[in-house]
Amino acid sequence: MKKVLYRHLFSKVLGFSLLLFSVSFYAQEEAAPTEVVAEAAGGGDPVKGKQLFNQNCAACHALDRKMTGPALANVESRLSEDEGLDKEWLYTWIKNSPGMIKSGDAYANKIYAEYNQAAMTAFPTLSNQDIDDILAYTAAPPPAPVAAAASGATAATTESGSGISNEIILGALALVFGLLVVMLILVNNTLRRIAEANGVVIEKDKADKGLPIWKAFVKNQFLVLVTAIFLLLASGYFAYGWMMQVGVDQGYAPVQPIHYSHKIHAGDNKIECKYCHSSARVSKHSGIPALNVCMNCHKSIYEYKGNPEGPSAEDVANGYTNEFYTGEIKKLYKAVGWDEENQRYTGETQPVEWVRIHNLPDFAYFNHSQHVSVAGIECQTCHGPVEEMEVMYQFAPLTMGWCINCHRETNVKMEGNEYYEAIHAELSKKYGVEELTAAMMGGLECGKCHY
């Protein structure tokens, strides 16, 4: 473990120093062009523009590719060069595009028709200065933190470096151990010689002449009996334990057709579980989200760039590079039939066959909404730290004993629920307690889950 930690430390130090170096290097380059563009953009502030762009435009526009709306890189110059439209036109368009379409403006209607007649939201709140800022940003975006690229590169180098260093360290260690052994033998020999020289006689072990230990063991019948019983019990215990885990798939983490990372979605991006698993609120099934739910976000999130400083060495070792994740998003597009080029659905769908992880047997009835909506239990209670799971696995054993234990120990959340009022009053009187467990409510009865 230590070694691994050390490696991390090592690579981080290396990476950090490279980073420092490259940032200072690029920083010098960066300054000059920004100034030039700022002048050209007529006073717009690209930094502020970027912020505004991300807030208002990024849902439908990207700089360099078509999305719901057209690519916006150098939109101002493109419009004035190709279409002869000035900045005033852009102001009007951005502030009230539907009005412009209605007024019959030729280019406005052309754009409208080209993009599947999806009207652009009007932004009357943006001032001309704001729009200038955005346009400044689109004309020349402040370079993306070059660190990403740089750190990618460094990571790659450290990765290859650490591969070699691993072997070297191992070799060195083996050498050290070998040396130690040789030294010990030498020391021993030396000591022996000194002893002989001094006339010290090393006594031989007397036990050698007595009975071998196993014969002594066999002779002692009591010991044999006890050992046999112990072994039988132990093997029984382990056999039972082994058999009880047949069919218990705790830790089951199958390979899925699309590598979906809960860590990225629920962990890094903090998406609420029930945003995707919405039926958990109302239904017995938590539901695997339909692909149209994925497309709510992935229409605009077409590539993975979630880690500004690049994938960690560990991720890279597992193959979880940005390209890998982006590839998985493309798999989604293929399944749902999304034509990225033209930003429309082709209608050719291919349902995703996920491998089911949590398999309750058919004779056990479990209702998510009872636990999620009524009891207000966190998903993590049964599903574990999903937000940390790169690959989803079965956290709980899902055995009956596990269910029952929780029903015995967990107090039912009754406050503010009118349904429970009468029964709470009666039962708490009966049991003489204020908090009632599910078991007290009859939650251990066979028929509550088996019908």
Partner 1 sequence: MASNKKYWKSEAELNPNDSIVEALRNNEFTEQIPVDEFLGDKENLSETATSRRDFLKYVGFSTAAATVAACEGPVHKSIPYVVQPDNIVPGVANYYATTIADGFDFASVLVKTREGRPIKIENNTYAKVNGDANARVNASVLSLYDSKRVQGPMQNGEPVEWNILDANVKAKLGSLKGSNRQIVLLTQTYASPSTDKLIAEFKAEYGDSVNHVVYDAISEDAALNAFNAAYGKRALPDYDFEKADLIVSFGADFLGDWQGGGYDSGYAKGRVPKNGKMSKHVQLEANMSLTGANADKRYPMTPTQQKIALAKLYGKLNGSNVGGGTSEVDAAVESVAAQIRKAGNKAVVVTGLNDINAQTVVLAINKLLASEAFDAENPKFVRQGDTAKVSKLVTDMNAGRVGLLIMDGVNPAYSLPNAAEFIEGVGKVDVSVSFSFNNDETAQSSQFVAAASHYLESWGDAEIKKGQYSLMQPAIRELFDTRQFQSALLNWMGSEQSYYEYIKDNWNTNLLQGGDWNKALQDGVFVPAAVTDADAEGAATVISETDEETEEVESIAPISAAVRSLVNATSQGTELVLYSKVGMGDGKQANNPWLQEFPDPISRVSWDNYVTISKADATALGLENTNVANGGLNGSYVNLTVDGTTLERVPVIIQPGQAGGTVGLSYGYGREAGMKEEMATGVNAYALYKDFSNVQSVSVEKAAGEHEFACVQLHKTLMGRGDIIKETTLEIFNTKDHHEWNPMPHVSLNHQEIPVTSPDADLWEEFDRSIGHHFNLSIDLNACTGCGACVIACHAENNVPVVGKEEIRRSRDMHWLRIDRYYSSEESFEQDNEKKEGMEGLFGDNGALGGFGEMEDASANPQVAFQPVMCQHCNHAPCETVCPVAATSHGRQGQNHMAYNRCVGTRYCANNCPYKVRRFNWFLYHDNEEFDFNMNNDLGKMVINPDVNVRSRGVMEKCSMCIQMTQKTILDAKRDGRVVKDGEFQTACSSACSSGAMVFGDVNDEHSKVSELKHDDRMYHLLEHVGTKPNVFYHVKVRNTNEA
Helix axis angle, 128-139 to 2-40, nearest 10°:
120
Amino acid type, 223: L
- Rounded to whole angstroms, how far apart are CA atoms 329 and 338? 11
The count of residues interacting with partner 1 (CB under 8 A) is 57
Q: Which is nearer to partner 1, 279 or 410 (CB)?
A: 279
**DSSP structure class, residue 437:** B
**What's at 277, amino acid-wise?**
H
**Is there binding between residue 401 and partner 1 (CB under 8 A)?**
no
The footprint of partner 1 on residues 424-443 (CB under 8 A) is 426-427, 430, 441-442
- Shortest Cβ 389–partner 1 spacing (Å): 17
Applying CB under 8 A, the span of 37-45, 106-114, 182-190, 278-286 interacting with partner 1 comes to: 278-286
Q: How far is the CB of 367 from partner 1 (least distance, A)?
A: 6
Where in 295-354 is the site for partner 1 (CB under 8 A)? 335-337, 349-354
Would you say 247 and 397 are in contact if contact means Cβ atoms under 8 Å apart? no
Check binding of 140 to partner 1 (CB under 8 A).
Answer: no
Structure token digits, residue 105: 């403006």
DSSP annotation string for 377-426:
--HHHHH--GGG-SS----S---HHHHHHHHHHPBP--TT-HHHHHHHHH
What is the rounded distance in angstroms from the CA atom of residue 70 to the CA atom of residue 109? 14
Q: Is 423 in the site for partner 1 (CB under 8 A)?
A: yes
Task: Tell me the Ramachandran region of residue 319: left when phi exceeds 0, alpha when psi lies from -120 to 50, beta otherwise.
Answer: left
Which of these, 309, 321, 308, lies nearest to 15 by C-alpha position? Answer: 309
Say how far apart CA 343 and CA 69 lie, in whole Å. 9
**Site track for partner 1 across 238-277, x = CB under 8 A:** --------xx-x----x-----------------------
Least Å distance between CB 423 and partner 1?
5
Binding test (CB under 8 A) with partner 1, winner from 63, 253, 258, 288: 288
- Taking CB under 8 A as the criterion, which residues in 362-391 touch partner 1? 362-365, 367, 369-370, 373-374
- Say how far apart CA 247 and CA 104 lie, in whole Å: 68
d(CA 206, CA 198): 23
DSSP 151: H
Q: How far is the CB of 416 from partner 1 (least distance, A)?
A: 7
Of the candidate residues 361, 376, 401, 432, the single one contacting partner 1 (CB under 8 A)? 361
Q: How many Cα atoms occupy the beta-carbon half-sphere of 120 within 13 Å?
A: 30
CB of 393 vs partner 1, minimal distance in Å = 14
Give 136 or 436: the residue with its C-beta nearer to partner 1.
436
In the complex, the smallest distance separating the C-beta of residue 255 from partner 1, rounded to whole angstroms, is: 11
In the complex, minimum distance from the CB of residue 334 to partner 1, in angstroms, rounded to a whole number: 11
Instruction: Choose between 185 and 433: whose C-beta lies nearer to partner 1.
Output: 433
Interface residues with partner 1 (CB under 8 A)? 246-247, 249, 254, 279, 282-285, 287-293, 335-337, 349-356, 359, 361-365, 367, 369-370, 373-374, 416-423, 426-427, 430, 441-442, 445-448, 450-451
